[in-house]
Amino acid sequence: MSENFQRVEKKYLMSKETYLDFLKETEKYIQLDEFGLHTICNIYFDTDHYDLIRNSIEKPVYKEKLRLRSYGIPGENDKVYLELKKKWEGIVYKRRISLTLKEAEDYLKRGVIPEKKDQIFDEIDYFVHFYHPEPKLYLAYDRRAYYGLEDHNLRITFDENIRSREEDLELEDGDYGEKLLEDDMVLMELKVPGAVPVWLSEIMSRLHIYPISFSKYGNIYKKKIALGGNERCSQVS
C-alpha cells in the first residue's frame, strides 16, 4: 500500500512546562490518536559524501530525502515504510510505500524489486538509482500525535527523547542512541493542509510559541558528523 501527503509543516521547540500548558489550552480542540505514546524508528539514507543533508542545510528551494521508518522495533515480517520526502517552496510532499522489513532490506541492499509496486515505488526507485544512497544514520524518538476535532487533517506531534547512532544501522537492532536534546525539551510539529486555525495561532501567541528552522538529521549531522561532535548543536533546516 502506498500513501501520498501534501501539507505545510512547522516546528517548534519548547520546554516540558510550555508543552503541558499547550495541552491544557488546546484540550477542547485536539484529541490524542489511538496509538498514544509510541516510538518511531528511522534509517536515513544519503550519498557517500552526505550530499543530501549538506544541500538541505543550505536551505534550497527544493530538497529531498529518503528514509526507512518503523513504529517500534520490527521483525523481518513486520510492516515498515520506505518514504521519499520532498520540500518545494515550503510545501512538504511525502510519498511512502509499506513493505515488510525483509522486502525493504531485499530491495535496498540487493536490488530485489517487491512484488507489489506502483507509481510511488517508481519515484523511490528513480531516486535510489540516481543517488545510490546508503544508510547513514539511525534516529528514533518517542512521539504523541494529536489530530484536530473539527479538522482531522490538522496534526500536531510532540517528540521527546530524540536519539541517534551511526552504527548498527538496522531497524531490528534496537532503538538506543545518543540524545540530541536536553531531557526537558520537546519538539512540536504542526502539520496542516492549509492555513493554521485562528484558535491555534492565538494559543501559540499567548504561550510565546514561535516556529523555528529545525531538522533532526540536520542537527545531528552538524553536531556529530560534520563537526566531529565538538560543537554546540545549532538549528538548521
Q: By C-alpha distance, which of 191, 192, 185, 190 is closest to 18? A: 185
33 near 148, Cβ under 8 Å? Answer: no
- Domains of the chain plus CATH, in order, are 2-226 (3.20.100.30)
Measured between alpha carbons, how far is 120 from 234 in angstroms, rounded to an integer?
Answer: 34
Measured between alpha carbons, how far is 196 from 209 in angstroms, rounded to an integer?
Answer: 14
Q: Which residues of 216-226 are buried (b: 16+ CB within 10 A; e: fewer)?
A: bbbbbbbbbbe
Per residue in 33-51, pLDDT (tens digit) is 999 999 999 999 999 999 9
DSSP letter string, 172-203 = GG-S--EESS-TTEEEEEEEESSSPPHHHHHH
Q: Between these two residues, 5 and 185, which has the higher pLDDT value?
A: 185
Q: What is the pLDDT of residue 209?
A: 98
**Helix, strand, coil in percent for the chain, rounding step 5:** 25, 40, 35
Q: What is the pLDDT of residue 193?
A: 86
Long-range CB pairs of 126-129, under 8 A, 24+ apart, other chains included: 127/64, 127/66, 127/84, 128/66
Which residue(s) pair with 92 in the sheet?
Answer: 7, 87
**Whether the predicted pLDDT of 234 surpasses 80:** no
**Whether the predicted pLDDT of 165 surpasses 50:** yes
**Whether the predicted pLDDT of 233 surpasses 50:** no
pTM of the model as a whole = 0.90
Classify burial at 117, counting beta carbons within 10 Å of its beta carbon; exposed 0-12, middle 13-18, buried 19 or more.
middle
Average predicted confidence (pLDDT) for the chain:
92
Q: What is the pLDDT of residue 235?
A: 43
Cell 517548534 maps to which residue? Answer: 12
Length of the chain: 237
Question: pLDDT band at residue 229, thresholds of 50, 70 and 90?
Answer: very low
Percent residues over pLDDT 90 in the chain? 82
Q: Please name the residues in contact with 96: beta carbons below 8 A apart, sequence gap of 6 or more.
A: 2, 3, 69, 81, 82, 83, 84, 120
**Number of helices and strands in the chain (H, E):** 6, 10
Cell numbers at residue 102, please? 525483509
Q: Between these two residues, 68 and 118, which has the higher pLDDT value?
A: 68
Angle between helices 198-206 and 16-26 (to 10 degrees): 140
